[in-house]
Chains A and B, each alone.
Chain A
């Protein structure tokens, strides 16, 4: 009971902190980075849902982000659809594509699914680059209008900050509820042992498709939001490299841990922005980070045996050492 209340309190505090951040940080540049962090955090959460909870190693997430982004950009620039509708439709579009791909891969096991998703990412990349009448080719689609809800336009960085924050909080809540429910347990059961899951009455293929669909909806929505923010859909934002970078966000934080995804995204989005030099070498930095992490936190920063448990371990060791010393002292006396 106490624990739950404490958790609630810390959650409210964190939210209040996030809400007041634009008043503390006055630098537009950092607000901008935080906005990018919020949209990417949703992508990392969707990756966590697919890779961390259901155990399906998907390495083509940025393709779905791209599908959402292009769908939203095309709808609002070429057809003049209002933002709210374009946003929802891009989620639906990414979800349907995810469902179709999931259906085709319903029998694929681990490594084959990974290959299919990599292939899918490359296909989407080629499509964005070469279907010039629709996607604008290398030029992409520019002048995408900023998000706008019934007359209120989120056109400044600070305004968008609140929209992105709301989007992240809602996505986090929904994904968390899913993972805590019967559905989330079915995903985890499939990850741990799909044969035993089948014997527990879980329709493994159906749940795999469902997982892929739900994850893709969130990735698509994040893509849509990001394109309305940058106001430009570029085919180079949705490459395989980008997918792997996003996957690393989820892995760094800890697969199967939702707060972990936020932490992982934060590290990989914010740290490279610290300095230009840092940014140039970000892949090197990430590579080293991954190796170090595999050595000390094989399940990610907030996964099993992650930072939290490590800290408790250190505290225990310190306490034991102190007691031993006290014992020695007593012995000497």
Chain B
């Protein structure tokens, strides 16, 4: 593996909640431009792993490096500004705002309007706002949401909410997007659509880490798959290798009788 190509590296990351060991000594690296799938049974620590990477919980032990810089213990908004964004297992949109406003909030770190500009200009006269709106509309178009731009986000149907959440993460020009169960609650057709979106995202810049329970999706799009079980990494490799791994089968299906 090429060392310079590493985007994110987690070294022996552990996270304990009191006596509960959610993560123990997980090593993980992500190379630029790949799609890494993270799977594991319920409660294996996948979401905790995301929370540790993004600074929501600082790790109890271990270090996280992003683009060669140590980001362990940095606050969430700083890490987000450095270029890691995520979506959530239970969709978190700004429900009372419009779809377009949701996108503009996603662009928060890229708009540098100063306070005096706000005081002395209407929002329609600030060039950044206008450019931002144009860009938001073009991304909404790419995600097939342009016709809903003026709607209140909370009123969208479920599938569109998911897509909007991903679009909002994508618009901040991140170098890494973490997707937490993007196809949860979707029908097979929507799942296939989602697979296309994830590939499209990777092809348009950001590296992707995706947590999923849907094996078809994960095996179909991942370049590499990591498996967590009881907070430990038990396998890491190409999808075909992981599928054949004995420990992984055991974790999912239980031990075979002698």
Beyond A174-B119, A201-B108, A203-B77, is A193–B172 a contact (Cβ under 8 Å)? no
Q: Please, which residues of chain A bring their CB within 8 A of the CB of B115?
A: 183
Q: With the chains together, A256 CA to B101 CA distance in Å?
A: 15
Q: Please, which residues of chain B bring their CB within 8 A of the CB of A192?
A: 93-97
Q: Is B123 an interface residue (CB 8 A)?
A: yes
Number of chain A residues close to chain B: CB under 8 A: 26
> Which residue of chain B has its CB nearest to the CB of A178?
B118
Beyond A192-B97, A199-B80, A201-B77, is A181–B118 a contact (Cβ under 8 Å)? yes
Question: How many residue pairs, one in A and one in B, have C-beta atoms under 8 Å apart?
Answer: 90
Q: Is A191 an interface residue (CB 8 A)?
A: yes
Q: Mark A187-209, 1 if CB is under 8 A from B, else 0.
A: 01101110111111111100000
Cβ-defined partner of A193 (8 Å) among B86, B92, B106? B92
Q: Please, which residues of chain B bring their CB within 8 A of the CB of A332?
A: none
Q: Is A310 an interface residue (CB 8 A)?
A: no
Q: Is A186 an interface residue (CB 8 A)?
A: yes
> Which residue of chain A has its CB nearest to the CB of B80?
A201
Q: Mark B48-61, 1 if CB is under 8 A from A, else 0.
A: 00000010100000
Q: Please, which residues of chain A bring their CB within 8 A of the CB of B96?
A: 188, 191-192, 256, 304
> Which residue of chain B has its CB nearest to the CB of A214?
B115
Q: With the chains together, A304 CA to B168 CA distance in Å?
A: 24
Q: Is A282 an interface residue (CB 8 A)?
A: no
A197 adjacent to B118 (CB under 8 Å): no
B105 adjacent to A186 (CB under 8 Å): yes
Q: How far is the CB of B249 from chain A (nearest CB, A)?
A: 35
User: Which residues of A in the span 284-324 have a Cβ within 8 Å of any Cβ on B?
Assistant: 304
* Chain A residues in the interface with B (C-beta under 8 A): 174, 177-178, 180-183, 185-186, 188-189, 191-193, 195-204, 256, 304
Q: A192-B94, A201-B108, A202-B105 are in contact. List 9 more A-B contacts (CB 8 A).
A: A180-B122, A182-B129, A183-B115, A188-B96, A189-B94, A192-B97, A199-B80, A201-B81, A203-B75
